[in-house]
Copies of this chain bind each other. A is one copy, B any other.
Amino acid sequence: MTVENDTATCRNRFVDLRQRADLTEDTRRALSAMAHVRRYHSGQTVLFDGDDSDLVGNVISGVLRMQKTLADGRQHIVGLLVEGDMFGRVFNGALHFSVEAATDAEICAYPRAPFEKLLTRSPDLERVVMLNILNELDRARDWLIILSSQKITTRIAGFLVVMCSQFARVDHLVRNSESGPVVHVPIGRGDLAHLLGTRPESVSRAFHALARDGVIALLKPDLIRILDMEALVAEAGDEDLGGTPNLKETLQLRPPRS
């Protein structure tokens, strides 16, 4: 059983709401009946800020970014959505941020009204959605910790740790060589700077500072090999690694305890 197979299994289980094993056959059928797949190119907007959107959905492939538009026109990224993540408003009004494709992306969309209706009468779906939102909340709080530091190197290190732990289930963690795991950063320096609340120049400097210290190696601007995970975590402020008690497993790319 290779790493690739595990990853694939993982993806099958989580990526598509309609195929999740923890939903009943009835619920899956009802979801399938109302689902439709949409494709977006990098840069396209999926949902508009303030939009009283009639759409909920989950990401099938690619990366979406959630961003707030400030009054002065600047935009701040408040989170990334990767394969399997849900987005859109359930139950209450307008979005407080817009959702755009950070890469070419595929989503599975559900019209809101029937989705809510199904949600109300399907405890299994309710549970899945609630867990998804709670997970999202945990991720947001992890970001809070990362952003609470104002040393950029710390933020970058925290970002990389989160990429390793949270996104390991999809293929942003490309492969595990003898030198250490290789992380794929799915967004450019500019977006990353927005995400971390800084400037592209500082992001670049922080990456190269970590590289000089032998903590990481920059294979390409968007491909980073982690050489010294321990040092990276220390640089990230010795976080308790929040929602990932099984980080060590993840980093070794062991299959999660099933």
A237 CB contacts on chain B under 8 angstroms: 70, 72, 74
A134-155 near B? 1/0 per residue, CB < 8 Å? 1011101101110111100000
Interface size on A, residues (CB 8 A): 50
CB distance from A101 to the nearest CB of B (A): 19
Q: Please determine whether A141 and B242 come into contact, CB atoms closer than 8 angstroms.
A: no
Q: Please determine whether B148 and A76 come into contact, CB atoms closer than 8 angstroms.
A: yes
CB distance from A189 to the nearest CB of B (A): 16
- Check: A79 CB closer than 8 A to any chain B CB: yes
Q: Please determine whether A238 and B144 come into contact, CB atoms closer than 8 angstroms.
A: no
A131 CA to B129 CA, complexed, in Å: 12
Enumerate A67-88 residues with CB–CB distance to B below 8 Å.
Answer: 68-72, 74, 76, 78-79
Partner of A134, one of B66, B76, B92, B120: B92
Known: A70-B237, A147-B148. A96 touches B243 (CB 8 A): yes
- By a beta-carbon cutoff of 8 Å, the part of chain A in contact with chain B is 49, 66, 68-72, 74, 76, 78-79, 89-92, 94, 96-97, 120-121, 123, 126-127, 129-131, 133-134, 136-138, 140-141, 143-145, 147-150, 196-198, 237-240, 242-243, 245
Which 3 A-B pairs rank lowest in CB-CB distance, beginning with the nearest? A148-B197, A71-B238, A140-B140
- What are 29 A-B interface contacts by the 8 Å CB criterion? A49-B240, A66-B141, A68-B239, A69-B240, A70-B237, A70-B239, A70-B240, A71-B238, A71-B239, A72-B238, A76-B145, A76-B148, A79-B141, A90-B130, A91-B130, A96-B141, A96-B243, A129-B130, A130-B133, A133-B134, A136-B137, A137-B140, A140-B140, A140-B141, A140-B144, A144-B144, A147-B148, A148-B196, A149-B197
